[in-house]
Amino acid sequence: MAAPLTPADSPVATPSPGWTRRLPKDERVFLWLLAVSVAAMTAFTIAWVAGFGDQNAPDRSVVVTPDEFRATVGAFAEKYQGEDGRVHVPPGTEAYMMAQRYAFFPELVLKAGEPYTIKIASTDVLHGWSLVGGGQNLNLEVAPNHVFELTLTPEEPGEYLIICNEYCGLGHHLMRGRIIVEE
């Protein structure tokens, strides 16, 4: 009868005592790289916000029902809609934009150099409202049942695309709107 096997019979070398508490070299390098990346990204973010973070966050938000908001936007659009189907907002007037799967309504025509307040709300699910360019860098989340008031002064004439940057359904990638800034 063979003698029972002991750990000394194992073909695998017995690890030295304390091996569970030591990190192998590649793990230590990885942790250092991780720490350096986190520090670099944190420093970059702080520097970026300090240097370029002059964004127009919404000043105010108001509770509204989807039906109320839809009616308000409809009346606003009807009042100022031009023959081109776009809504020409007189300076000093409050403008509205509705996010609804999968479009932003209406298309607004604004005058360069004039301050506007745009009231934005969703009538269904959470959307994103993102406009980049023309001296603006705006990114909002547009939640249902809340109107966000955005103040902006468009500086450069041009046609600006608004995209939805919050996944809102199968047509999310097609969801867009437009703001036209005229001289």
Interacting residue ranges for ligand CUA, rule: CB under 6 A: 127, 164, 166-168, 172, 175
Nearer to ligand CUA, 107 or 166 (CB): 166
Instruction: Supply 180's token pair.
Output: 């036209």
Q: Could you tell me the smallest distance in angstroms from the CB atom of residue 62 to ligand CUA?
A: 21
Q: Could you tell me the smallest distance in angstroms from the CB atom of residue 171 to ligand CUA?
A: 8
Nearer to ligand CUA, 80 or 106 (CB): 106
Instruction: Supply 38's token pair.
Output: 């986190």
Nearer to ligand CUA, 80 or 175 (CB): 175
Q: Could you tell me the smallest distance in angstroms from the CB atom of residue 130 to ligand CUA?
A: 10
Nearer to ligand CUA, 124 or 149 (CB): 124
In sequence order, which residues have a C-beta less than 8 Å from that of residue 105 and are 6 or more positions away? 73, 77, 97, 98, 177
Sign (positive/negative) of CA torsion 154, 150, 173, 84? negative
Q: Could you tell me the smallest distance in angstroms from the CB atom of residue 47 to ligand CUA?
A: 30
- The torsion angles phi and psi of 107, rounded to 5 degrees, stand at -80, 125
